[in-house]
Structure 1
Amino acid sequence: MRYSWILLLMVFGLISCQNERQEIAKPNIIIIISDDHTQQAISAYGSKLTQTPNIDRIANEGVLFNKAYVNNSICGPSRAALLTGKYSHKNGYRDNENSSYDSSQDQFVNHLQKAGYQTAWIGKYHLGEDPKGFDYWEILPGQGHYYNPDFIQMDGSRVRKEGYVSNLIEDAAESWLDSRDQDQPFLLILGHKATHRTWMPDLDDLDMFDEVEFPLPDNFYDDYQNREAARVQDMSIAHSMQMAYDLKMYPEDTKDGNVTRMTADQRERFDGYYKPIQKALNEAGLEGDALTEWKFQRYMRDYLATAASMDRNIGRLLDYLDNHALSENTIVIYLSDQGFYLGEHGWFDKRFMYEESFRTPMMMRYPRVIAPGTVSEDFVMNLDIGPTMLQAAGLEIPKDMDGKSFLPVLTDPKAEGREAVYYHYYENGEHAVSPHFGVRTDRYKLIRFYKRVEEWELYDLGNDPQELNNLLGNEEYAEVHREMYSKLMKVIEKYRDEEAKTIAEHPLNGDLNLRKK
């Protein structure tokens, strides 16, 4: 009898130890980064344009961030901020035109790697061709291609894989997950090419939205009154979107590499879909607004079908986690590298600090920590992801990171989030968007444009969510202007952005004695 009690105590002790190990097990981490996807195209955010059931599943089973923003609304700089937890002026990657990324600098992935995590990046990287901090990587060169893309291997070789890029990225991800050491935690970053220009869906999805007539955004024919930077841009559907490159209305002898790399069977199906559309367009002889609105409909159909092709593969990944008993101990984050315009202001593309571009979709599933169906109204940023993952893994967050973990605001009702978010965009070439920086609070936004256009803009987002009415110089908002200027200077000082400080201190017409209290 005595021995039975001893045996029973040993069994309970063993179970207790197992439970303790399970409780302290470091979570696996999967970060899915799409390209140019936007909240307006995600049904979890209330979009009526499309359904994204698999992306929605992450939000439904975790937290949906309604106020997620980026530091710099362009592909490479956004990824650099995610990896380093730092603003562009600190990590050195300010734009895609003149910057090069130093992959040997401190990144959150290096800390996970040192702590025993197996780390991998698969898909679009867009920060050069020498990722560091990863035990395994397989990346697209530059933007990559939608059909039969090349992948750069760790030995520097390039392998062309036949198929559609979103499917191939998911295939490679599952292959790596199959081969990993199952006794160690892992971090996997998937970089999807979708939904980057030129918006090419998988062949099975080409006609998905053919019967849908999309409503024009209310501000589609924006006149940009009192907004000079918006007026001089070159990203309008009417004038900047290209019939061949963007909308697949190719001449017979096209040399466009997006289609010449297709197999004969792929090209036959592709042409079989687009050539009748092109023939009908030529016969219609559209001009002016009618042609612009035709371009909008084609753009929306291709963009949303491309997103659907990606969403299906995100579902494959979630199913893989379920089927391999990984879901309960794996954090899954979905975000885009920034937002995108779906005809708002008459535009496609991104770059501006206006909401559609500055704001990014983001959601996170973290079983046993984040309750399903959580909705966060706190400001979070792409550069917060690294610190958050380090905290989740029980690791110290480097003090020089600008980002901060958002786990406290999700788990502690008394925790305080950001009062404001800071933004700085540097590029001064593509799409003629003027460099600018600014600050956003719950209600107001102040922007300072420079170089191409020298001006301030002030918006009351409570009364003007579409940002059509620049309030700079409006005496009724003089005090708001001064308060927002003070907040801007505080965040500039906090993040030590000396270039912005010098520019912001330079007076312009309409500054309304900003330094007066």
Structure 2
Amino acid sequence: MDRRSFLGRVGALGWAAHAAAGPQGPRPPSILLVLADAWRGQALEAAGDPNLRAPNLDELIRTGVLFPRAYTPNPACAPARAALLTGRYPHACRVLADGRPLPADERTVSEALAEAGYATGFIGKWALDGADEPGFVPPGPRRRGFAFWAAFNRGHRYFDPVYFRDSPQAQRGEGFEPEYQTRLACDFIREHAMRPFFLVLAWGPPHPPRTPPAAYAQLYDPARLRLRANVPGGAAAEARQALAGYYGLCSALDACLGRLLTVLKQTGTAEDTVVVFTSDHGEMLGSHGLDLAEAPFEEAVRIPLLIRYPRAGRVGRRAETFVSSVDLAPTLLVLAGLEPLEGMQGRDLSAHLVSGEGSRAESVYVQGRLATPAEWRMLVRGLDKVVVDRELRVTNLYNLGQDPYERRNLAFEPGQARRRDEMTAILRDRMRRLGDRVLPSGLKIRQS
């Protein structure tokens, strides 16, 4: 069966058409999107991580499709999450930094799925309603089509957590925040097992503070952890401590993921549920002597992306193509039998899940620190990577095949002029096509 026929069967007419057709009609898939804040793409055994213990993620990889070259469109929470929901880059959806609200006229994948009859729910950290912390988001348009709501706007409070339902009266969870959120998610899945649902579970960890629950606090011995080769010697001791807490949080989340997968099996919805595991951005954790996210290095911009859809039949595969978080919204809409929304800039990846023969992107594009003096843009093509500053001057140039840890900056080496100019031209063309600070003529748009 080809991809078009398959997608037509699983959901071409949406849930309303399925209901009208009766019990024998096609049912669109449910969608469970799990977002782990600051989980970097290198922190997977399948990506070569020698430290992490995450058996449920390993199982998800064995039964789904791994996208090993997935990138965030921007290594900051709000811009990345806005891009994920809208399928548009941060400059296009106008969320340039944390603390900025998603404009009311931006359309989201959640709104489109709600209109198609999906039961929708959001649990966890939202980050798209401005600077309020923790922040009550009232029912209505600011929730972007999510009907069930157990969330807060901003903050990282992993014990004695606070969240809101439909009133500004704060609710208090119990114990470790992701465990409580996962219980709410399991309840949502049980309640909506008989109809297609779209549930986003947005965990706060492994973003700092790096304090795992007691059962995982001593799981990793800092002295035995293997550091990435680009962690300077002077930063090694601090990096080991940070990694021990980081991996402890990751393993705690993996246990929560296992509970979600178990509930899908118990409710009989596993075969017809698209499970997505990803992050908004990565984390440096001592690489290049840094401990932050908004840097144009691979540790900050690479993210995990695992998608499992048992009904599609593609299991245990690696899709060797560049992917950005902006690709998720159009992909999920197509899997639900809907058209991508007008203005979406991401690619439809559904062929990689259904036929395994999806097209391969030649490059991936990332923005950072927009509208600040430290603004940068980045493009990776093949194994070559270029970074430019606010004035589009090249600051960094790497070959990730020869230098995967980005320890040799080729930007100013005389023998690299041709490669530097070629990569810069490709980046400028991508900016032009995306409408990012560049007019169709190629002239830069002046910023205040």
TM-score, structure 1 normalization: 0.75
Q: 1:436 maps to which residue?
A: 376
The root-mean-square deviation of aligned C-alpha atoms, in Å, is 2.6
Q: 1:395 maps to which residue?
A: 338
1:375 Cα deviation after fit: 0.6
- Tell me, yes or no, if structure 1 residue 145 matches structure 2 residue 157: yes
The match for 2:312 among 369, 374, 383 is 369
Distance in 1, matches of 2:412 and 2:294, equals: 25
Change (3 A) 1:22 1:62: farther
1:154 Cα deviation after fit: 2.0
The aligned amino acid for 1:456 is T
Change (3 A) 1:294 1:456: closer
1:157 Cα deviation after fit: 2.2
1:428-477 CA-to-partner distances (Å, cap 9, x unmatched) read 78xxx9220121111211111238x9653222222222122222233322
| Structure 1 unaligned blocks of 5 or more | 1-18, 223-288, 507-517
Change (3 A) 1:383 1:196: same
Distance in 2, matches of 1:414 and 1:141, equals: 39
1:345-375 CA-to-partner distances (Å, cap 9, x unmatched) read 1222211222111111110101131421111
Q: 1:475 maps to which residue?
A: 414
Pick which of 204-213 and 110-119 moved more: 204-213
- Tell me, yes or no, if structure 1 residue 491 matches structure 2 residue 430: yes
The match for 2:387 among 447, 471, 474 is 447
Distance in 1, matches of 2:438 and 2:265, equals: 48
2:207 match: secondary structure: coil
Distance in 2, matches of 1:500 and 1:208, equals: 53
Q: 2:348 maps to which residue?
A: 405
Q: 1:509 maps to which residue?
A: none
Pick which of 168-177 and 294-303 moved more: 294-303
Question: Is the contact made by 1:335 and 1:363 (CA closer than 8 Å) also made in structure 2?
Answer: yes
Q: Could you tell me the percent identity over the aligned residues?
A: 28
Q: 2:232 maps to which residue?
A: 221
1:109 Cα deviation after fit: 1.1
Change (3 A) 1:369 1:414: closer
Q: List, as ranges, runs of 4+ consecutive aligned residues in structure 1 with deviation greater than 3 Å.
A: 19-23, 409-415, 499-506
Question: Is the contact made by 1:103 and 1:131 (CA closer than 8 Å) also made in structure 2?
Answer: no
Q: 1:208 maps to which residue?
A: 219
The aligned amino acid for 2:170 is R
Question: Is the contact made by 1:492 and 1:501 (CA closer than 8 Å) also made in structure 2?
Answer: no
The aligned amino acid for 1:81 is A
Change (3 A) 1:83 1:190: same
Q: 1:67 maps to which residue?
A: 69
2:312 match: secondary structure: coil
Change (3 A) 1:500 1:89: farther
The match for 1:318 among 230, 249, 261 is 261
Question: Is the contact made by 1:447 and 1:458 (CA closer than 8 Å) also made in structure 2?
Answer: yes
Distance in 1, matches of 2:222 and 2:283, equals: 24
The match for 1:92 among 91, 94, 104 is 94
Distance in 1, matches of 2:29 and 2:401, equals: 39
The aligned amino acid for 1:148 is D
Q: Who wins on radius of gyration, i.e. which is larger?
A: 1
Q: How many residues are aligned here?
A: 414
2:143 match: secondary structure: coil
Q: 1:354 maps to which residue?
A: 297
1:363 match: secondary structure: strand
1:141 Cα deviation after fit: 3.9
1:122 match: secondary structure: strand
- Tell me, yes or no, if structure 1 residue 51 matches structure 2 residue 53: yes
1:172-224 CA-to-partner distances (Å, cap 9, x unmatched) read 112222333x44210000000110111111122211123752234322228xx
1:23 Cα deviation after fit: 7.8
- Paired residues for 1:178-189 under 5 Å: 178-180=190-192, 182-189=193-200
Q: 1:234 maps to which residue?
A: none
Q: 2:359 maps to which residue?
A: 416
1:501 Cα deviation after fit: 9.1
- Paired residues for 1:336-351 under 5 Å: 336-351=279-294
The match for 1:331 among 274, 278, 287 is 274
Distance in 1, matches of 2:381 and 2:348, equals: 19
Change (3 A) 1:502 1:164: farther
Question: Is the contact made by 2:190 and 2:263 (CA closer than 8 Å) also made in structure 1?
Answer: no
Distance in 2, matches of 1:343 and 1:205, equals: 21
Q: 1:191 maps to which residue?
A: 202
Question: Is the contact made by 2:277 and 2:305 (CA closer than 8 Å) also made in structure 1?
Answer: yes
The aligned amino acid for 2:423 is M
1:299 Cα deviation after fit: 1.3
Question: Is the contact made by 1:459 and 1:469 (CA closer than 8 Å) also made in structure 2?
Answer: yes
Question: Is the contact made by 1:336 and 1:360 (CA closer than 8 Å) also made in structure 2?
Answer: yes
